[in-house]
Chains A and B, each alone.
Chain A
Amino acid sequence: LEPDAQLVLSCLRGDGYSWEEIVRRHTRRVYNLCYRFTGNSTDAEDLTQEVFLRVYRTLGSYQQQHGAFPTWLSSVTRNLLVDHYRRTRRDRLTDSIDDALPQVEEKHTSQTPHHVAEQAELSAQLQQALLQLSPELREAVILRDLNGLDYSEVQSVLQVPQGTVKSRINRGRIELARILEKMGLRPA
């Protein structure tokens, strides 16, 4: 039995310390998925809490034969992210000014010659470009290239055929490359 599966079993038997271990092991993964998808640390924090709250309530529905626990956790996270995306769609359409602000700040900071600052700038540009992808392409690219899931795991999370997964990841990468080119980023 995998360590995660053992922890889930102990947790279902009422061991609170196993639950804390689960949270300790997976908070980073869930938070990063949320942060990459939303691009906002406050939203990511709230969503991570929401994910673990839902997992805590529905832990009994996790079955090992349906996949590894991290994949199941990513599915729960992804479903909440989709809900969150739909919930906030109207806000985003009316918040074009707020969206423009980070870009202005990033252009200002790109003047610094310091390597660390350059890396931070690059990272911020990448995040900004990710947010311009459609949610379907974005989640596929995040799961594959940032979270390091293989194609079958991404398929389990997204619950779509493997051909669709491959297509979304490929289109997402190409779209991202074009966005970054428009932002002035050239291949090294």
Chain B
Amino acid sequence: VISKTYTDWTFVSLSPLPIAWILCAAAFVTIATAWLIWSYWGAQNKRWLLLFRVLTALLVLGFITEPALQIRAVQKVPDRLAIIVDRSQSMQLSSSRGQTRIENVRNVINKSTAELAELSQTHILEWYDLEGPITAATLSTPPIGERTDLLQALEKVRHNTGGRPLAGIVLITDGADNIALRAETLTPDSEALQRLQALDVPVNTLDAASALGFHDIAILEVVTDEFAFVHNTIGIDVTLYNEGFRDLSVPVTLKRNGGIVATQEVQLEENKQRHVIFQTKPDEIGEAVYTISVPTFSGEAILSNNESSVVVQVIRDKIRVLQVCGKPSFDERFLRQFLKENPNVDLISFFILRTPTDEPGPERELSLIPFPVDELFTTQLTSFDVVIFQNFDFRPYKMAHYLPNIRNAVKKGLGFVMLGGVHSFASGGYAGTAIDDILPVRLHAPQIQHGPLIPTLTEAGANHPITDLSATSARNQLLWKQLPPLDWANKVTALSEGATALVNAGDTILVAAKDIEEGRSLSIATDGLWRWRFSPELGGTNPERAYYRFWTNALRWLVRDPEHARVRVTPLRRHFANSARVDVDFTVLSQDYQPVANAALSATLEQIGTTTLNVEDLITDEKGQAHLHYPELDKGAYKVTAKASLGDTEIGHGSGTFIVAPHSIEYDHAAPRVSLLKAIAKATHGYTGDLSDNAWDKLELKNPNVVEINKRQNIELWDNFWALCVAVVLFGADWAYRRRRGYL
């Protein structure tokens, strides 16, 4: 019956009955036949009876099951073979011979046309990269994948059924996995190994890179503190790696803001890391860009990792304060306590404990020392950041010719504070002196204003950083009103040119501030601030906290803390990994810290250590703000300097620093990893070898076990004339035998 058309046959049941019914009927027939056989067990000539009954039972079973012979035309189905080509960025790296990894892949594939055609006879070839299916055209485009996750790519391919079984996977890669298998060694209990084994398909790994060689000197990491204290040593820890080069000596250079600070000659062993530590002292306050670089060597695969920059915010180690007090008082005592307890302050105090007219007794029985006027106000003056004159009359100490030194130091950046008292301001004889030139208030005849005096914020004081004692403006206003009143104050009623009144009390300008070239000056016309420090809480207000905050603010303002700058340049980030989007914000504030609208800003962008790249003119909006976007900056450290002016008046300048460092993890771990490829193949029972090594006929693949039935025919065995004849013959033979033996 089976002709050339049909290549296979099998038995099938054509019964329309459900399988359960068929089974039940077959069981009934079998049991009934067995009962009959048992009943015939004592009869004579039972042999023939039994034979007839068994044959009849088989005949009945045949009618129930309706067996048929099915003949088929069968064809085996070709399965799939997935070929994954790593198209991550590391495949773009070139060897010393100049050929990139992806070019190596393309060349081998082009030369393997015959082998691939042969494979396609038995397998459906499917092409993928690490992200998904690709076409031949895709393969010819540059590799742009930003990561290499081999395990995920294998799992994606495995779960892409495509309607056909998967015979195997061919993975063509450099093995430079930087995600799941980055540091994975595929130990027996590792999750990665279990995931590989769960693929249940051979993964044939073809190494596309190691034959090309890989040479690279890389600065893997630069670690330092984000903040550093000026004039204090900081450590910059550099991690270098030599991949592929024989042991060599490399000069490692440290630059600060483009200028070379130090160079170390470092011996780098092949395929080993090396730590180098630079010790350096920043000598300027502000943002410092430290750049570590090594030279590029011939044949290096990656040049971008030969230089790395970090930004360090250099801050004051301590604010050095000179407190000169004319006589002991509680105001002096609590200010001293605040300054001494402040870890950011290095305090030198000089208190006048005895005047020339006092009679304390023999000198040797006193603990007093001479007031070192000359030393303090000549050689040592520049070592201070802030000088405080507290209720101090300079005249008994022959200081008149030192006062210009203080004025000049303030112009160069010193902060100066005059605190009230009966020996301060005009009462201290400062009218017409060099100190008068720098004070925020004008000195007239000595006068005292008696209290109680309630401090009141001026409009400028409501926004000024010195008088900002609370989180919100409204609470700040309320807090000032609730502070303990002052007993008295030096009466000063007029501001000097360019000064700003921050707090008034009665008719007197209690707190006033003034910028003097590079320095700043602050006047506080009372010696009663200690009452805030020593006051109990008043209706939910904590004057002690206000005291601390006031003085903290004052010190920061006096030393020009960057947060108190009036022209602020704020890059959106310190590091930009995406060079396509560098945003910088600008804020311009007036002397009373109000936003300056329509201020002219000249923003200069320079690449540190090179040249000015760009100058933009901006105008601030009503919030005193402006914004700038720099597109497509090259890798490097940049500084934006902004000068602000309103009309003909210069407001000030500020700067901000940022680093553009397009970063790809593809280049962090770009070395070929043959060991990983071997481990993957071993875990999945695949083949591993070099791509160029004619590997196509060595692939380990699953045997195809699925067939396709194109044609079939059923030949019924029971439902025909011959079956009926057999039944009639059986029935007749049984009847005849029974009659002859007398059983009927």
Q: Do A and B form a real pair?
A: no
Q: Residues of B with Cβ closer than 8 Å to A?
A: none
